[in-house]
Amino acid sequence: MSATFSPDMTGRRALVTGGASGIGEVTAKLLNQLGASVVLADLNADALPDAAKRTGALGTVDGNVASAADVDRMVADADAMLGGIDLLFNSAGIGDDLVPVHAQSPERWQHVVDVNLKGTYLMCRAVGRQMVERKLGAIVNVSSIVGIGAFPGRSAYGVAKAGVGHLTKTLACEWGNLGIRVNAIAPAYTRTPMVQSLLDRKIFDPTLIENRTPLGRFAETEEMARAACFLLSDWASYITGVVLPVDGGWSAYGAAGDVVKIRTGDGASAG
Ligand SMILES: NC(=O)c1ccc[n+]([C@@H]2O[C@H](COP(=O)([O-])OP(=O)(O)OC[C@H]3O[C@@H](n4cnc5c(N)ncnc54)[C@H](O)[C@@H]3O)[C@@H](O)[C@H]2O)c1
């Protein structure tokens, strides 16, 4: 598969959280290839130097997005490196324990919500302050299909990602009259280190996921990066407050049967 779509991001200055791995890293690389200057932010300080080399990032900042003090410091340092922040991509996130609510630890629940939701809120707040002053900017947050439909065992992550979607819409409404756009992508299963570790530990069966997905496969990380870069670019100049499923049709699918069998015509009648 080849993609020829390429918005011009020349001169744009971007901060990417979770930039040391997965969707954040690949989006940072594509932003750089499209002409933007990029700073990576991540909790994993050890991984940042190599990620900067792989993505062509101008610089890196390390810290915890769930800490207001860390966020203020990272944003101030990134702002100094870039000379202003036009674009923010909030990809930092963690998974949850895959246990039902009655078996969950409240502390772990809170931690998952803090990183995924509070972290996104704090980053939007800190970068948004200067975007509001300059009346310019675009933000893309990362929700999930788990924030659209309920997944048993994923209450913390699901609540956090649903919250990211709602936060996105709220900010779009608060800042729209200033010309600041805020959108989110809602990925399905994407082959990143986070998902690979779940597959390696046999926490879920890839065949079940492929069969549940109308496009019949996992997403590639680049497919998330392209959607994010589109929403960050001027090509999306009239799009704000959208939570865009980038999910191979996962959230569109509602039938009880096996999507692959029905699609290929070798299953039962679709009735
Ligand atoms: N991979 C998927 O299938 C999938 C699906 C839906 C949504 N998402 C979301 O996409 C985003 C990226 O996921 P990924 O699969 O690329 O994961 P990943 O683990 O490859 O990358 C996540 C990055 O976030 C960083 N991070 C974690 N906690 C942090 C914190 N407190 N402060 C700063 N950085 C922190 C990690 O160090 C890591 O570099 C996450 O928000 C995730 O929830 C992923």
**3-55 pLDDT, tens per residue?**
567 899 999 999 999 999 999 999 999 999 999 999 999 999 999 999 999 99
193 touches ligand 1 (CB under 6 Å)? yes
* 84 CA from centroid of ligand 1 (Å): 25
Counting ligand 1 atoms within 8 A of each CB, the residue from 17, 23, 29, 54 with the most, and so the one to mutate, is 23
Quick one: tokens of 88?
A: 């923010």
Q: What is the pLDDT of residue 175?
A: 98
Distance 128 CA to ligand 1 centre (A): 21
pLDDT of residue 184: 99
Neighbours of 57 (CB within 10 A): 25
Total residues found in the chain within this entry: 271
- Give me the residues of the chain with pLDDT under 50, please: 268-271
Q: Where are the domains of the chain?
A: 13-190+220-251
Rounded Cα gap, residues 234 and 232, in angstroms: 7
Amino acid at 10: T
3-state secondary structure (DSSP) of residue 244: strand
Atom of ligand 1 nearest to the CA of 44: 37
19, 91 contact by CB (below 8 A): yes
Nearest residue by C-alpha to atom 32 in ligand 1: 64
Amino acid letter, residue 34: L
238 counts as catalytic: no
* Cβ-based neighbour number of residue 226 at 10 Å: 20
Indicate the pTM of the whole model: 0.96
Q: Tell me which residue has its CA closest to atom 16 in ligand 1.
A: 22
The alpha carbon of 205 and the centre of ligand 1 are apart by a number of angstroms equal to 21
**157, 189, 238, 253: the active-site residue:** 157
**Architecture of the domain whose range is 13-190+220-251:** 3-Layer(aba) Sandwich (3.40)
Residue 157 Cα: closest atom of ligand 1: 43
Distance in Å, CA 263 to ligand 1 centroid: 32
Q: Is 163 helix (H, G, I), strand (E, B) or coil?
A: helix
pLDDT at residue number 15: 99
The minimum-distance atom of ligand 1 relative to the CA of 193 is 20
Residue 184, CA distances (Å) to 58, 98, 236, 241 in order: 24, 24, 12, 8
User: How far is Cα 94 from Cα 78, in angstroms, rounded to an integer?
Assistant: 23
CB of 165 sitting under 6 A from ligand 1? no
Identify the CA nearest to 224 among candidates 43, 61, 3.
3
Which of helix, strand or coil describes residue 258?
coil
Report the C-alpha dihedral over residues 29, 216, 157, 186, rounded to 10 degrees: 50
Q: Residue 46: count other Cβ atoms within 10 Å of its Cβ.
A: 9
Q: Does residue 9 line the site of ligand 1, with CB under 6 A?
A: no
27 lines ligand 1 (CB under 6 A): no
Which H/E stretch holds residue 194?
helix 193-200
DSSP-derived secondary structure for 98-151: ---GGG--HHHHHHHHIIIIIHHHHHHHHHHHHHHHHT-EEEEEE--GGGTS--
Answer yes or no: are the C-beta atoms of 62 and 39 closer than 8 Å: no
